[in-house]
Amino acid sequence: MKDPPAPHRSQARGGPLQEGHRAARSAWELHRPGGRDTALIAIAVVGISLSGPLTALVAAPALAIAFWRNAAGAAVLLPVLLTRERSTLTGLRLRDLRSSAVAGLFLAAHFAAWLPSLTMTTVAASIALVTTTPIWTALAARIAGVRLPAAVWWGLVLAVVGAALIAGVDFTVSREAVTGDALALLGAIAAGGYVLAGARARERLATSAYTVVCYSVCAVVLAVAAVLFDVQLVGLSTRDWLLIAAITVVAQLLGHTLLNLVLSSVGPTVVSLAVLLEVPGSLIVALVLLGQAPPLLALPGMAAVVVGVALVVRASRPTTLVEQAT
């Protein structure tokens, strides 16, 4: 599968300020997904929806799960980079890989914060909070000078309210659950940095090049953390190895990698909002695998998430502050 062509950057006429705003727009721009992108996003949502419930079944430490899914993901994609997409490496410089490395650091922080939360609070609450990523990406986009359409904000509010409604019915008053909720929220903020750095990286790099660098950096950081905190990465049970392999395939390769594939064509805002579909998806999977039935009050929240995502996907492109001034 070949990558879509990278977004074209028009030559800017003006000073460094306009150059900076145009560069920011290329990273934040919102595009309505085509049929191919919609299909890939749908597959990715199914993959990431399986991540939380499957992870909750693993007895191994969270750092071990995160390390192996990223290390294995990088190893699987490396042959693709060295064979089918080797030509994309021509002319690349180390600074072109900087955004990929930054994305890997954010991804490591995301996993280190979110995965432990799955065992400290309910899967529903953890997923709902970690998928608040669009809040942080939208705020960052606004700070970067992008005027998002009103429909995006209405969709964002509706989707986040839906996620909060789902989480609210599962909150408990225990200290451990509160800590788990806080970790899930921290994981969402880190995921925002991962998506945004990835969007910038995908302007220059093919999917395989970006993901190999990103996943490798993430795996190295997690391995160092495991050594520092004396977390065992090997000697896991056969059941845990099989579950980690399943998580790697469905969540890392079909989930994260496919979202990275469409990132350059639909933009980080659409990707972040599509990830909100993980909330109802994970609830359904948790019901089947873990026997965790969502309360009736969670059903309106699931519907709100779906409608909110639909509003954003159907919205038009945002307008930058620079365009309004010129």
Which residues are bridge partners to 147 per DSSP?
Answer: 319
Rounded to the nearest 5 degrees, what angle is found at the Cα of 195, between the Cα atoms of 145 and 137? 40
Question: Are 43 and 220 a contacting pair, CB within 8 Å?
Answer: no
Below-50 pLDDT ranges, the chain? 1-28, 316-326
Q: Is 12 within a domain?
A: no
Please name which of 126, 131, 253, 276 lies closest in space to residue 192, comparing C-alpha atoms: 131
Number of domains in the chain: 1
Residue 241: per-residue pLDDT: 96
Q: Is 167 within a domain?
A: yes
Q: Is 23 within a domain?
A: no
Rounded to the nearest 5 degrees, what angle is found at the Cα of 325, between the Cα atoms of 321 and 326? 120
pTM: 0.76
Distance CA 177, CA 199 (A): 33
249: buried, middle or exposed (CB in 10 Å: 19+, 13-18, 0-12)? Answer: middle
pLDDT digit string (tens) for 4-49?
444 444 334 444 334 334 444 444 455 566 778 888 988 999 898 8
Q: Is 109 within a domain?
A: yes
Q: Is 10 within a domain?
A: no
Q: Is 307 within a domain?
A: yes
pLDDT digit string (tens) for 228-262?
999 999 999 999 999 999 999 998 888 888 887 88
Q: Is 39 within a domain?
A: yes
Residue 301: per-residue pLDDT: 79
Q: Is 92 within a domain?
A: yes
Q: Which domain holds residue 169?
A: 30-325
- CB under 8 Å, gap of 24 or more: what pairs does 74-83 form? 74/211, 74/212, 74/215, 74/216, 74/219, 76/248, 76/253, 77/208, 77/211, 77/212, 77/215, 77/253, 77/257, 78/208, 78/212, 80/208, 81/206, 81/208, 81/209, 81/212
